[in-house]
Amino acid sequence: MNRDWIATARTLSEALPYLQRYAGSIVVVKFGGNAMGDEEAMADFARDVVLMRQVGVNPVVVHGGGPMINDLLGKLGIESKFLRGKRVTDKATVEVVEMVLTGLVNKRIVQAIMDEGGRAVGLSGKDDDMMVCVADDPDLGFVGKPVEMNVQVLRDLFAAGIIPVVAPVATGMGPNETFNVNGDTAAGAIAGALQADRLLLLTDVSGVKNAAGEIVTAMTPGEVEEMIESGVIAGGMIPKAETALKALEEGVRAVVILDGRVPNACLLELFTEHGAGSLIRS
């Protein structure tokens, strides 16, 4: 018999303890705009999520879409600026953000999951008042900081066997307010509110690096704080690391920062001994 098939059967057999460990658990996956560039990466990601659901995990996809927002803003001639990793969002910009994230990007992911044989429903933080925000910082305009979470709708979807796909756009305390929320921040808030077992932050780097430039496979929150203070964790990794710390504080069991460009990154992390990226846990 072809050795590859024997290896495939062995891989499945070795996954049993992990399948047992994660059955019934809640896993929040942040899927960033940079990771969805090509069709194949999108289909691969969708297949991983459908497989998770098939083996009894309750996955929630929280997506970004920064590059897609940039594209449409560019076509409309609206200039975009970032401050500390977040988009300065005026009235015209927040309308484009909502259109792109809840329309184009959200439906693309829902469709990819449906194409792989799963069931997905797309929502934003506005649906059922899932995520209620206040302004994060006066310099950022309509950028939201989640202050109140209502995640019952997600639990209802789990019970129906449906994979929720959430766009990081939220409502405010007042009527008819719209906030643009950073995708990592939204994923962290949702994971915290659900007391998720895992928050997987898919990025386009291989994980968190130490001072010697090597990927650190496991860290405690204290170690992460030290790495931020000493400047070893810098740039775009800071908001991800801060999201991880906050999610752990709110009761998420573990956060993994991993490379979404690696094929089947989510499966590698959850269902193999090898794991992937950097795991942060107390």
Closest distance between ligand X2W and the C-beta of residue 184, in Å? 7
Q: For ligand X2W, give the closer residue by CB, 58 or 243.
A: 243
Q: For ligand X2W, give the closer residue by CB, 51 or 143.
A: 143
Contact status: 65 vs ligand X2W (CB under 6 A): yes
Q: Which of 69, 151, 257, 265 binds ligand X2W (CB under 6 A)?
A: 69
How far is the C-alpha of 227 from the C-alpha of 211, rounded, in Å?
Answer: 9
The window from 63-71, 152-160, 206-214, 234-242 that contacts ligand X2W (CB under 6 A) reads 63-71
How far is the C-alpha of 107 from the C-alpha of 41, rounded, in Å?
Answer: 16
Task: Provide the token pair at 169.
Answer: 């756009």
Q: For ligand X2W, give the closer residue by CB, 32 or 207.
A: 32
Q: Quickly count: other Cβ atoms within 10 Å of residue 33's Cβ.
A: 20
β-bridge pairing 163-167 and 58-63: parallel
Which H or E run includes 161?
none
Q: For ligand X2W, give the closer residue by CB, 14 or 137.
A: 137
Which H or E run includes 196?
none
Contact status: 202 vs ligand X2W (CB under 6 A): no
Residues 167-186, one symbol each (x = binds ligand X2W by CB under 6 A, - = not), give: -x-----------xxxx---
Q: Which of 86, 108, 126, 240 binds ligand X2W (CB under 6 A)?
A: 86
Which H or E run includes 134?
strand 131-135
Contact status: 33 vs ligand X2W (CB under 6 A): yes
How far is the C-alpha of 69 from the C-alpha of 150, rounded, in Å?
Answer: 27
φ, ψ of residue 231 in degrees (nearest 5): 85, 5
**CA–CA–CA angle 39, 42, 37 (5° rounding):** 60
Contact status: 66 vs ligand X2W (CB under 6 A): yes
Contact status: 87 vs ligand X2W (CB under 6 A): yes
Residues 220-259 that bind ligand X2W (CB under 6 A): none
Q: Determine the longest span between alpha carbons in the chain, in angstroms.
A: 66
| Chain residues in the site for ligand X2W (CB under 6 A) | 32-34, 64-66, 69, 86-87, 97, 143, 168, 180-183
